[in-house]
Amino acid sequence: MESWDLTAVATPGGSRSPVVLHSENEARAVVIGLEPGQELGEHEVKENAFLIVVEGVVQVAAGGQTLDAGAGTLVRFDPEERHAVSSREGARLLLLLAPWPGEGHYRDD
């Protein structure tokens, strides 16, 4: 068994320094800190992506929809679904990617 206190994982540098907690074929778990005003610009991943807001509030945009998501919110994105995440006040996120890596994640797949 492994466990983490998601509220205590240091994320110096905010989104520029995500912290990988676990990474094996079945999934990858990453903690991301967003500083006030910081964002993860529009992007996509090859995996199923589950984004959990641990602390703070984020604005999530995908498929022409926007959502203000507070602590306790879970958002799921399909593989290759374009999305963006930002936070006016700062936030802490847990990102789960499954399976890891998804087909096509590395260009030489």
Quick check: 48 pLDDT over 80?
Answer: yes
The hierarchical CATH code for the domain 17-98 is 2.60.120.10
- Give the residue extent of every domain in the chain: 17-98
Q: Which of residues 76 and 109 earns the better pLDDT score?
A: 76
Q: What are 53-77's pLDDT values in tens digits?
A: 999 999 999 999 999 999 999 999 9
Residue 63 has, within 13 A of its CA and on its CB side, a CA count of 6
Relative to beta strand 74-77, strand 19-24 is unpaired
Q: Identify the burial level of 29 via C-beta atoms within 10 angstroms of its C-beta, where 0-12 means exposed, 13-18 middle and 19 or more buried.
A: buried
pTM for this entry:
0.90
Q: DSSP code of 102?
A: P
Q: Identify the burial level of 40 via C-beta atoms within 10 angstroms of its C-beta, where 0-12 means exposed, 13-18 middle and 19 or more buried.
A: buried
